[in-house]
């Protein structure tokens, strides 16, 4: 029996449970060790406990939005890559521009996403 080591650790952060669980399952199917957080505060706590090499994070979330969480995560895990995504481009435009201005966006994905796109970015940044 071949004992397969878990792949790189990836965290998915989205306030929509179906999106977060769906993305993390896609990543698990590809051999990544994927976890899911439902908001920015939970994501910040998660990176304190585990060294994620990549974080897929929704921009528009109640409470701590994606950029606020990104800033906090960078202080804890400066080498972690973060890919921001949203389904609300119009509402997120200001946040996206601010993220670019601050040099915080590694990649940006618009929802709905394609599984191949998530896998491609996961392989690229882990």
Domain spans in the chain, listed from the N-terminal domain onward: 9-125
Residue range 20-47, pLDDT digits in tens: 999 999 999 999 999 999 999 999 999 9
Residue range 54-95, pLDDT digits in tens: 999 888 888 998 889 988 998 999 988 888 887 765 666 676
What's the rounded Cα separation, in Å, for the pair 71 and 109?
18
Do 76 and 52 contact (CB within 8 A), yes or no? no
Q: DSSP label at 79?
A: T
- Above 60 in pLDDT, residue 108? yes
**Of 96, 38, 108, which Cα lies nearest the Cα of 67?**
96
* CATH architecture of the domain with residue range 9-125: 3-Layer(aba) Sandwich (3.40)
What confidence category does residue 105 fall into, taking pLDDT thresholds of 50, 70 and 90?
low
Q: What is the pTM of this model?
A: 0.83
DSSP character string of 26-72: HHHHTT-EEEEESSHHHHHHHHHHS--SEEEEES--SSS-HHHHHHH
For position 94, what pLDDT does the model report?
Answer: 72
Calculate mean pLDDT across residues 5-10.
80
């Amino acid at each position: 029996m071949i004992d397969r080591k878990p792949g790189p650790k990836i965290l998915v952060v989205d306030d929509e449970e179906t999106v977060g669980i769906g993305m993390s399952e896609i990543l698990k199917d590809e051999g990544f060790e994927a976890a899911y957080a439902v908001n920015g505060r939970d994501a910040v706590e998660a990176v304190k406990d585990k060294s994620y090499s990549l974080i897929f994070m929704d921009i528009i979330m109640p409470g701590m939005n994606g950029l606020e969480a990104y800033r906090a995560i960078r202080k804890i895990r400066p080498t972690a890559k973060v890919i921001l995504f949203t389904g609300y481009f119009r509402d997120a435009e200001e946040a996206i521009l601010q993220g670019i201005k601050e040099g915080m966006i590694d990649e940006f994905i618009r929802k709905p996403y394609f599984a191949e796109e998530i896998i491609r970015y996961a392989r690229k940044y882990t």
